[in-house]
Amino acid sequence: MGIAKIAILGGGQMGAGVAQVAATAGIDVVMIKATPGPVDKARSGIEADLTKLVERGKLDQSARDAIMGRLSFTDRLDAAADCDLFLESIVEKLETKREKFAEVDRLAGPQCILASNTSTLSITAMQSATKRPERFIGLHFFNPAGAMKLVEVIPTATTNQAVTASVIGFVERLGKTPVLVKDETGFIVNRLLTPYMLDAIRCVESGLADIRGIDTAMHLGANHPMGPLALADYIGLDVVLAMSENLYATFKHDCMEPTDLLRHLVAEGVLGRKTKLGFYDYSQRPPAPNKALQKR
């Protein structure tokens, strides 16, 4: 049950990152754009990243060309018809994902494994939209996909053991470390990480310390590679909000409840790095704490 060709739905940073990793590992990849419009952005982003690697001497030109040769780009879901694995990496909305999986289930061949890259949502709830629950699984990659070594592998109660084994082999072929996780909201990493980021935001709300101070304390005091507020900006404050809402709806733990400040920032379109403004102002180099938040 080898995986030789995969389809990835979603041409954003995560989908493109996984596509590049898979193509680098020698796997044929078709990237399917989930939203209307040209597919050139995902292609050009991967091309630019590979070109930088060539310029830095970390990749030769022939290898770069071979990787691009294993990638194709489209906006048609039926491109998944002959794939061994279909990986969904789109917006964190359960009904949207269910609709896409129901459609792909009708289009994909019987050999195709369906997988979601969701960070918190129920895999079981998604698989029930298909007629192949035994070939459905969660595959949670982390951003940036090229650098992060972990992949959470989430089988459900009905996932075939051979499918799980095949997916684990695929993850290892990518040079990643798979960890098996029960299908429960947030899995391992985000169940532990989201309350941590929310508590850091509460520290900002209460005036415990300034933004830079909170991040510096956790960076130096806990040896974390970055502070919790910078991390929230990196993930995207809208994504952090979605994760916290999902966790709180499931567990009702106070530490998982979204804070007022987080809700306000997302409502205002202040989403972190992708909007150039979050807890930090990324229009500056180096980024500086968001002055407006220091006054709240």
Is 152 marked active-site?
yes
Catalytic residue among 89, 116, 122, 140: 140
CA dist 33 and 260 (Å) reads: 34
Is 166 marked active-site?
no
SS3 readout for 74-100: ECCHHHHCCCCEEEECCCCCHHHHHHH
Catalytic residue among 88, 116, 117, 152: 152
What burial letters (b/e) apply to 245-255, b meaning 16+ CB within 10 Å? bbbbeebeeee
Structure-token pair, residue 253:
């733990």
Residues in contact with 240: Cβ distance below 8 Å, sequence separation at least 6, in sequence order: 194, 197, 198, 232, 262
Is 103 marked active-site?
no
Is 264 marked active-site?
no
Catalytic residue among 119, 122, 166, 244: 119
Catalytic residue among 89, 122, 166, 190: 190
Q: Active-site residue numbers?
A: 119, 140, 152, 190
